[in-house]
Amino acid sequence: MTDSRGGDAWPIRTARLDVRRCTPEDLDAVWEYRRLPEVHRWLGSAPSTRDEFRERLLAPERLDALFVIGLLPESDRGAPTIIGDVMVRVEDAWAQEEVVDDAKAVQAELGWVLDPAHTGRGYATEAMRAVIGVCFGELGLRRVHAGCFADNDASWRLMERLGMRREEFSRRTALHRSGVWLDGMNYGLLADEWPPQGTAP
């Protein structure tokens, strides 16, 4: 890995998609779908203006972990259209003090957002399979994990399609911006469990 974002691992390309590092120039396109109520309903933050959104995402620790999903054009001409984004936040695992150095940068928290105009076509599954493949391949990580509100059916169903294992179902532990305490769910996957039996990465 040549930098904190796995420099040589990106971009990655699937049959229909291109997943690459997000740049400041991409943020206006990302804002167009992230500002939608049905999208930011489930996100950890919902800036109310484009400027607030850009300021938040331009913070190095956020931009460094953000990648955009591009839909490849049908012909060889033209650039991919941004239809979503992926977070890959490489992090340390918990460890006892004597072995803490061996637990540095060994896992990643994953997150994803897809433009509602492009849901229902398998793009999120396709993109995340490729991303997980990079996490366990070029990045050499031992584990990935992700969480969501239990009411976010699309998110936890995607995790299960990817072969991730439900590790926690917590009761009313997450305060939604609506003021309601909601249940939470956390999923994980180990490198030696990938790819899930009977599926292609």
The token pair that represents 127 in the structure block: 């993109």
The CA-CA-CA angle for residues 9, 15, 16, to 5°, reads: 95
* d(C-alpha 134, C-alpha 140), whole Å: 8
- Using 70 as the pLDDT threshold, list the residues of the chain that sit under it: 1-7, 75, 197-201
How much is the pLDDT for 182?
A: 97
Per-residue confidence (pLDDT) for residue 1, from 0 to 100: 35
pLDDT confidence of residue 6: 54
CB 34 within 8 A of CB 62: no
pLDDT at 3: 44
pTM metric for this prediction: 0.91
pLDDT score at 77? 74
The whole-angstrom separation of Cα 112 and Cα 132 is: 12
